[in-house]
């Protein structure tokens, strides 16, 4: 009876446990490495929306000036106000900005993140 119970018992072997632990550590490493870049993306997105909403006359110069104030207050360093593009389509004004962030991981391996933020009014 004990022989049949031992054959039926299954679990995670030591090698299986190590494999799962390594995969979880890699995922955690990538998550912790990418988190600041995504926090900065949401900061830029929020600043872009606020700059467009706060400007009475949404011209390129006025939006860039407002964006510069917002970015300096939030310590966002990924972009500058010069990177903002403003396009007017009829009555809709759209401000957008795109940038890339390269995060070195190990030796010559890097992670490239591409961000596009836009806001319309």
Q: Which tokens go with 88?
A: 């007017």
- Chain segment 80-115, per-residue pLDDT in tens: 888 888 898 888 889 999 999 999 988 899 999 999
Partners of 115 in the β-ladder: 99
Return the residue matching tokens 């990418």.
34
Q: What phi and psi values does residue 86 have, to the nearest 5 degrees?
A: -120, 130
Mean pLDDT value of segment 74-82: 83
User: What is the predicted pLDDT for the residue at 14?
Assistant: 85
Return the residue matching tokens 């009876």.
1
Distance, in Å, from the CA atom of 95 to the CA atom of 23, rounded to the nearest integer, reads 40
**Does position 11 have pLDDT exceeding 80, yes or no?**
no
Mean pLDDT value of segment 63-70: 88
HEC per residue, 42-69: HHHHHHHHHHHHHCCCCCHHHHHHHHHH
Sequence ranges of the domains in the chain: 39-120
Q: Which tokens go with 36?
A: 């600041």
User: What is the predicted pLDDT for the residue at 9?
Assistant: 64
Mean pLDDT value of segment 45-56: 89
């Amino acid at each position: 009876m004990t022989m049949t119970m031992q054959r039926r018992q299954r679990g995670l072997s030591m090698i299986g446990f190590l494999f799962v632990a390594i995969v979880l550590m890699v995922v955690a490493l990538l998550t912790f490495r990418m988190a600041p870049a995504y926090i900065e993306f949401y900061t830029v997105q929020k600043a872009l929306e606020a700059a467009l909403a706060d400007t009475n006359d949404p011209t390129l110069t006025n939006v860039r000036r407002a964006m510069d104030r917002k970015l300096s207050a939030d310590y966002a360093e990924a972009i500058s106000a010069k990177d903002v593009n403003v396009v007017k389509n009829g009555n809709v004004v759209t401000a957008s900005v795109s940038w890339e962030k390269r995060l070195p991981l190990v030796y010559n391996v890097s992670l490239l993140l591409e961000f596009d933020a836009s806001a319309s009014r």
